[in-house]
Chain A
């Protein structure tokens, strides 16, 4: 589903990724691990279309990402993002935060998603009225509302306690079973062990 060929990336003169080659099949739950500064977040940014690599290509279902003219529309249709911080918009309710990703979604779809994540009771609350774990689950709901083919998660449990962290990984597992490709960058090896496959990034190399 995703193919990465000869990716090299520099931040000015600093080498962040060095000739990375990678293939990720559909429905795989992949964990990218590595120490802070190893290049795992840069790799995730490149694969997820957020960062254009200095050299090399990323193919999504055999389409070269650099050939896509409307990257916004491409992301909206195919990709879901979950970040270490939830990045919910404080002045919007949970429902509205999810709706910004898909204005046309029905209330029933949002409720169904919130039920899947066990947070249906907070639909009309604001981010500052709910717990950290609930916020991260709302961020997951926002990522899922468009039924993306791939979910990219960067340290999604970085601000969560162990119970909530396990819950998030359980949700990822469920989604992978349904055919969604999950790519998670994490430094937590215990949680990474719950993935189908683990890739370690060290000094910009796999």
Chain B
């Protein structure tokens, strides 16, 4: 059956190629949109997760960019039991030279060690530490201008997280002057065996203007991630539907052209289910090979995206094995679903057309 299906695909080369391309485009689109959105979510959540178990933001605020937390809370938090360390960060963005948007991180000094130095030193007042991918694109390698103020470049750091590697780090006090706030978030690192829920309760009592969550819960409920995920699912669904329609239409044309083949099969008594099975086998083979091709194409595209200087490392696809499995299932479902209606039509071919021609 498989050999016969392969021969049928080979015999209808043009249509097979069209279906194959249609599937590859759809599957690659699903791969890219899903892995890029996963990558963005993963980069931001990795940034947050490296800094502790608890995150404190301004209460009733929808995005960390707009959050403003009183940095003096750090001292109160550090007096609580089971606290290992705490730090604060201001997250902002600004144009730098020709780059329209660059992430700016104002951090407390105890967070500097998160940024692995490549050259020179961590920043002092009026100085910035620049991520490697941004530094490579700067024309002036000694200083940068943020919000009409010049900052000396104290050093260059590298980070595996694209958002950081493409960002600028400075003292939280300097960042506070730029963005007019004392901190966007406070991150708390607890001692081993500490009860996180109790710690959250204790920190919450320190101010009514804050929202305290475990990092895990924060990442799971972060609105931006939900928006990215929902948009990604919507675009993936559209790509899936487009691929499906492509297969249905091309498969229908193919089946129509092979009507005499199915007519003769029906005439000699081949059951309808076998005809349906053959067409679905053809689609399965196409779905399988399209998936493999799309998988490799997506890896190549993601490699170029990751290394594109224009994207500053902010777009970094993450293709997990669960995503590959999900896309594989989607590919096979798309191929099979797209061929079910044409296959049923083929199986219903009335063999009398072989005798009566167009009369019936």
Contacts and interface: CB of A to CB of B under 8 A. Distances in A.
B317 interface: no
A73 B274 CA distance: 12
Interface residues of B, number: 25
B174 to A, nearest CB: 72
Interface of B is mostly: helix
A51 B267 CA distance: 11
Contacts of B100: none
A87 B4 contact: no
B268 A91 contact: no
A51 B351 CA distance: 9
B17 to A, nearest CB: 16
Interface in A60-91: 72-77, 79-81, 83, 85, 87, 89-91
Contact of B267 (A42, A81, A92): A81
Contact of A50 (B4, B265, B267, B359): B267
Given A91-B8, A92-B4, A83 B272 contact: no
A6 interface: no
Interface stretch (B42-50, B133-141, B150-158, B256-264): B256-264
Contact of A45 (B263, B265, B272, B355): B355
A100 B355 contact: no
Q: Please indicate which of the listed interface residues B4, B10, B263, B352 has the most CB atoms of chain A within 10 Å of its own CB.
A: B352
Contacts of A77: 269
A87 B261 CA distance: 7
B301 interface: no
B269 A100 contact: no
A173 interface: no
Q: How large is the interface on A (under 10, 10 to 19, 20 to 34, 35 or more residues)?
A: 20 to 34
A142 interface: yes
Nearest to B278: A100
A100 B270 contact: yes
B269 A11 contact: no
B327 to A, nearest CB: 31
A81 B268 contact: yes
A154 interface: yes
Nearest to A70: B271
Contacts of A181: none
Interface string B336-359: 000000000000001110111001
B266 interface: yes
A124 to B, nearest CB: 14
A91 B269 contact: no
B271 A87 contact: no
Given A11-B359, A74-B269, A100-B270, A51 B4 contact: no
Contacts of A90: 11
A83 B352 CA distance: 11
9 contacts: A45-B356, A51-B360, A72-B266, A74-B269, A81-B351, A91-B10, A91-B11, A92-B7, A101-B270
Interface of B: 4, 7-8, 10-11, 260-261, 263-272, 350-352, 354-356, 359-360
Given A41-B356, A72-B270, A101-B268, 19 more contacts: A44-B355, A45-B352, A50-B267, A50-B352, A51-B360, A72-B271, A73-B271, A74-B269, A77-B269, A79-B269, A81-B264, A81-B354, A87-B261, A89-B261, A91-B8, A91-B11, A92-B4, A100-B268, A101-B269
Closest 5 A-B residue pairs measured CB to CB?
A: A76-B269, A91-B11, A75-B269, A87-B264, A50-B352
